[in-house]
Structure 1
Amino acid sequence: MKQTWRWFGPDDTVKLSHVRQAGATGVVSALHHLNDGRAWPVDEILKRKAEIEAAGLDWPIVESIVVHEDIKTRTGRWRDYVENYKASIRAVASAGIKVVCYNFMAITDWTRTDLDYPMWHGGTALRFDMVEFCAYDVLVLKRPGAEADHPPARIEAARQRLAKMSESQLAKLEQNLIGWVPAREFIFDRDSFRRALDLYKDVTREGLRENLFAFLREIVPAAEEAGVKMAIHPDDPPFPLFGLPRIVTSAPDARALIAAAKSPSNGITLCTGSYGANPDNDLVAMAKEFGPDIHFAHLRNVTKEGDFSFHEAEHLEGDTDMVRVVAALMAEERRRKQQGRADWQIPLRPDHGHAIVDDIGKKVNPGYSCIGRLRGLAELRGIMRTLENVPAENWPR
């Protein structure tokens, strides 16, 4: 598998030299300073590509060309933004980039209540605590209809939890939930977030899903013509938040998405953490079933705690059998190579590493510290190197 690394551009505290030292050969990046729905200029793409290649790396994957909220709701200037998206696909293709990872999450993108949850080893991890989320959703934000989305026992536990929070703890929780996400060019306060939620008040799960399928029917032909593989990232967490529907959370969702615009250019990003937080998902089975349509893999692990709470585990721990997942992906690579597919190699990146060793206390993008991901990539590389030296018939199934 091709080993890659998420890099947030020149302002990232993890430098391209660090990426090479971690053993990755490819960079996953985007023009984050232009992520507002405009069409990406080719010269800006080539400038970023030259910077990456000067460090001895290549840039095979864009993550992400933002999908504007107008596209998700089919309101406002959605038609212009769709045309801009097609133009950006063509532009990255002209620079030799062949995979675009994107998501269709309404407003929030990936969400955690805690960005520095203490782990047993002394480092920190990302965590989602459903009780704390409920406390904010029901008792602080006071979203209309929020109480109907949470069982009474959870709401009571949230009241007790909120009563023990200091003002600074509450402010930190609010910042984590609505005020920050990597690579986003704007932040919300409470009032602006309420206004954003109001845009989705009449959007059902079925409606949002149809909007996604309509978007795919628009962009997939352009991607196919340009030789680009579109790889949707699942919703994270894989359940509704703030009353917003989630539509890419499970194997049936992935199945429906692939069928909605059948094409070699329409596929998925297998994120073992996002799909793994859904107890209904079998990640090994998904890696096998969707193998031909997996264009990218985010490999990380989570430990589910019950009542939809979870934390990011070490890459080889948690609830997902990472050895069997990697074996399934490498088996898919063998099949592709035998079929003569040019895209036989599946790119992966280690995702959401812990903050450990010298990264503890440093200013980093949460989940994207250097040493935790370096450790994760080394562990994944160990799995791959072992499997390469074992007959395929003896690989774990």
Structure 2
Amino acid sequence: MRQTWRWFGPRDLVSIDDMMQAGVEGVVSALHHVPTGAVWTGEEVKKRQAEIGRMKDGNPSGLKWEVVESLPVSEDIKKQKGSWREHIANYKTSLRVLRDAGIEVICYNFMPVLDWTRTDLAWRLPNGATCMRFDLNDFAAFDIHILARPGAVENYPPEVVEDAKRRFEAMDDAARQALARNVVFGLPGAAEHFTLEDVRGHLAEYAAISEERLRSHLIDFLAEVTPVAQDLGLRLCCHPDDPPFSLLGLPRVMSTEADYRKVMAAVDLPANGITLCTGSLGARPDNDLPGMMDRLGDRVHFLHLRNVQRQSGDIMGSFYEAEHLGGGTDMVAMIAAVVREESRRRTAGRSDCSIPFRPDHGQDILDDLGRKAQPGYPAIGRLKGLAELRGIMTALQHPVEGIHP
């Protein structure tokens, strides 16, 4: 398992120096400032590689950009409208640029409109730490009363609708604005930041797109780009929906093992792979994460290891970002499944026998609370998670008690 760390570029308040002191082996990054659908140029990629390759004092860091997260898929591609064919051509060009730069793993997602959704970006825990949280009733208050989406009330149980109304009425204007900002919060540094009107416009265009149609658009996209990636020696890996259930009436197509199986079978090439995120998939109680790793592991090209604590047993329910070993996913069993897959790959002579992973998200603890880094990406909270994951890896692979000699 190769230890990596996400970095949002020079404006990230967690620095290259911080990563080095955390002991990571590689960097996960992206060109967030490049508009979605545009070509990633060799100059921009080399610039980011150079930024990763040096410390604050100018000395070499020894770190390399090893995983792209994400090379984004445009809304036009997802909807098959407007400039979607041009965007696919640009995507292929960007893949070639990344291959020439020596980067082989490219993560992307196919979530409509919003990449991920939370209602609170700094929810206070009893010990004083903060974390991100998705509260279903708060989200319903946003959907029904702030966004005022037609028909929204039909997507929630009656008791949620009633409580959402009470919560909305108790909020002042500042609280309502804060909730709206949290829900539509884009990736830090991204070129696009949605307004409520932007969201309403996208929702109107998705009204005619069913789950089956969105999946067919994903398959059409992969049928175009996966052969290119295969020929270039690249590994594409689709991130699951976050959270893994329908929101705002939008279709979801990468929320379960069955979803992944359909897409892998439709474009059956090794380059068509998975970003297995234990946090996103773990927010749904019927997802068996260690089992998914065992059954789909040969297509897992990238791992996000994090944990969430579900606050109900429903498919669509509230949850918060837990400590890496403290949520609903058995992280020891999960890492054991990863180690088994890596052992199989070594036996088969695969060159990708060390799967890159990153300690995804983390709680803000200690000095994180004053640093105000990107929500979900604190320095110390992620370091704590990485240390815990590193301990499990070391124990499971030890020759005394390990899975393999």
Query: What's the TM-score bracket when you normalise by the shorter of the two chains?
Result: over 0.9
Q: How far has the Cα of 1:311 moved from its partner?
A: 0.4
Match of 2:357 among 332, 335, 348: 348
Structure 2 distance, partners of 1:69, 1:347, is 28
Contact 1:62–1:99 (CA under 8 A) maintained in structure 2: yes
Q: Does 1:43 align with 2:43?
A: yes
Contact 2:397–2:403 (CA under 8 A) maintained in structure 1: no
Q: Does 1:311 align with 2:320?
A: yes
Contact 1:35–1:66 (CA under 8 A) maintained in structure 2: no
Structure 2 distance, partners of 1:157, 1:288, is 41
User: Which is worse superposed, 128-137 or 41-50?
Assistant: 41-50
Partner SS for 2:371: coil
Structure 1 distance, partners of 2:128, 2:171, is 23
Which residue does 2:241 correspond to in 1?
A: 235
Which residue does 2:174 correspond to in 1?
A: 168
TM-score (norm 1): 0.97
Q: Does 1:379 align with 2:385?
A: no
Which residue does 1:276 correspond to in 2?
A: 282
Runs of 4+ in 1 over 6 A off after TM superposition: none
Q: How far has the Cα of 1:188 moved from its partner?
A: 2.2
Q: How far has the Cα of 1:36 moved from its partner?
A: 2.1
Structure 2 distance, partners of 1:263, 1:147, is 42
Q: How far has the Cα of 1:166 moved from its partner?
A: 2.2
Q: Residues 311, 72 of structure 1: CA spacing in aligned structure 2 closer, same or farther, 3 A cutoff?
A: same
Q: Residues 9, 393 of structure 1: CA spacing in aligned structure 2 closer, same or farther, 3 A cutoff?
A: closer
C-alpha deviations, 1:350-372, integer Å up to 9, x for none? 01111110010322100001110
Contact 1:35–1:65 (CA under 8 A) maintained in structure 2: no
Taking the TM superposition and a 5 Å limit, the aligned residue runs for 1:60-139 are 60-139=66-145
Which residue does 2:58 correspond to in 1?
A: none
Structure 1 distance, partners of 2:177, 2:370, is 19
Partner SS for 2:353: coil
Structure 2 distance, partners of 1:362, 1:217, is 43
Which residue does 1:267 correspond to in 2?
A: 273
Which residue does 2:229 correspond to in 1?
A: 223
Contact 2:339–2:403 (CA under 8 A) maintained in structure 1: no
Amino acid at match of 2:30: A
Q: Does 1:291 align with 2:297?
A: yes
C-alpha deviations, 1:175-194, integer Å up to 9, x for none? 00124433421222222221
Q: Percent identity?
A: 49
Q: Does 1:333 align with 2:339?
A: no
Q: How far has the Cα of 1:334 moved from its partner?
A: 0.9
Contact 1:354–1:372 (CA under 8 A) maintained in structure 2: yes
Taking the TM superposition and a 5 Å limit, the aligned residue runs for 1:185-264 are 185-264=191-270
User: Which is worse superposed, 214-223 or 153-162?
Assistant: 153-162
Contact 2:362–2:382 (CA under 8 A) maintained in structure 1: yes
Structure 1 distance, partners of 2:264, 2:150, is 34
Structure 2 distance, partners of 1:131, 1:51, is 42
Aligned-pair Cα RMSD in Å: 1.3
Structure 1 distance, partners of 2:225, 2:402, is 39
Contact 1:297–1:346 (CA under 8 A) maintained in structure 2: yes
Structure 1 distance, partners of 2:400, 2:285, is 32
Q: How far has the Cα of 1:394 moved from its partner?
A: 5.6
Contact 2:340–2:403 (CA under 8 A) maintained in structure 1: no
Which residue does 1:367 correspond to in 2?
A: 376
Contact 1:106–1:245 (CA under 8 A) maintained in structure 2: yes
Q: How far has the Cα of 1:170 moved from its partner?
A: 1.2
Contact 1:179–1:189 (CA under 8 A) maintained in structure 2: no
Q: Residues 387, 136 of structure 1: CA spacing in aligned structure 2 closer, same or farther, 3 A cutoff?
A: same
Give the number of aligned pairs: 395
Structure 1 distance, partners of 2:178, 2:353, is 44
Contact 1:267–1:295 (CA under 8 A) maintained in structure 2: yes
Which residue does 1:23 correspond to in 2?
A: 23
Structure 1 distance, partners of 2:296, 2:127, is 35
Amino acid at match of 1:157: D
Q: How far has the Cα of 1:120 moved from its partner?
A: 2.2
Partner SS for 1:192: helix
Structure 2 distance, partners of 1:287, 1:52, is 31
Structure 1 residue runs without a partner (length 5+) = none
Contact 2:49–2:64 (CA under 8 A) maintained in structure 1: yes
Q: How far has the Cα of 1:257 moved from its partner?
A: 1.3
Q: How far has the Cα of 1:139 moved from its partner?
A: 1.5
Amino acid at match of 1:140: I
